[in-house]
């Protein structure tokens, strides 16, 4: 008779705890930099899923001010990862996303790119002593 339970090894349980710990650290670190960079206006969602070719990624809808930040859940190159560095990297992408978004828009209004750069400069001014 099948009980619906799966046999899970102690190593797999240990890996799950490690993955959850990494993901929790990733979210906490990203949120720290989001606040530090003055990016509280964005609604942030987090995903822990397998990614191709990267340890972390970010996808942002600038118009709706919604972003999804993902951390790779696979075991590939896990010993070379720096979860905090990856979170900071993705937060910096969010900081500069408005500039990237304007640059990709073929019909940016006059002065819009300058304004976005000025916004980033002011945020960086407050961070750099």
The answer to whether residue 56 is domain-embedded is yes
Query: What is the reported pTM?
Result: 0.75
The answer to whether residue 3 is domain-embedded is no
Total of domains in the chain: 1
Q: What does the block give as tokens for 100?
A: 């990237």
The answer to whether residue 38 is domain-embedded is yes
Query: Which residue segment(s) compose the domain that 114 sits in?
Result: 10-127
Q: Which residue has the higher pLDDT, 98 or 60?
A: 60
- Other C-beta atoms closer than 10 Å to the C-beta of 56 total 20
The answer to whether residue 1 is domain-embedded is no
Of the candidates 27, 41, 28, 61, which has an alpha carbon nearest to the alpha carbon of residue 123? 41
> Can you tell me the distance from the alpha carbon of 69 to that of 5, in angstroms, rounded to the nearest whole number?
32
Per cent of the chain over pLDDT 90 is 47
- Segment 47-71 mean pLDDT: 94
The answer to whether residue 84 is domain-embedded is yes
Residue 19 belongs to domain with CATH number: 3.30.2010
Question: How much is the pLDDT for 46?
Answer: 97
């Amino acid at each position: 008779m099948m009980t619906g339970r799966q046999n899970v090894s102690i190593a797999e349980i240990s890996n799950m705890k490690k993955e959850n710990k990494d993901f929790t650290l990733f979210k906490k670190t990203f949120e720290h930099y989001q606040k530090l960079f003055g990016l509280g206006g964005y609604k942030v969602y987090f995903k822990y899923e397998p990614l191709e070719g990267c340890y972390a990624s970010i996808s942002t809808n600038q118009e709706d001010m919604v972003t999804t930040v993902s951390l790779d859940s696979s075991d590939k190159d896990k010993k070379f990862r720096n979860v905090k560095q990856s979170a900071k990297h993705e937060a910096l992408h969010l900081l500069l996303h408005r500039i990237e978004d304007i640059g990709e828009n073929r019909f940016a209004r006059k002065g819009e790119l300058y304004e976005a750069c000025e916004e980033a400069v002011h945020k960086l001014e407050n961070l750099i002593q």
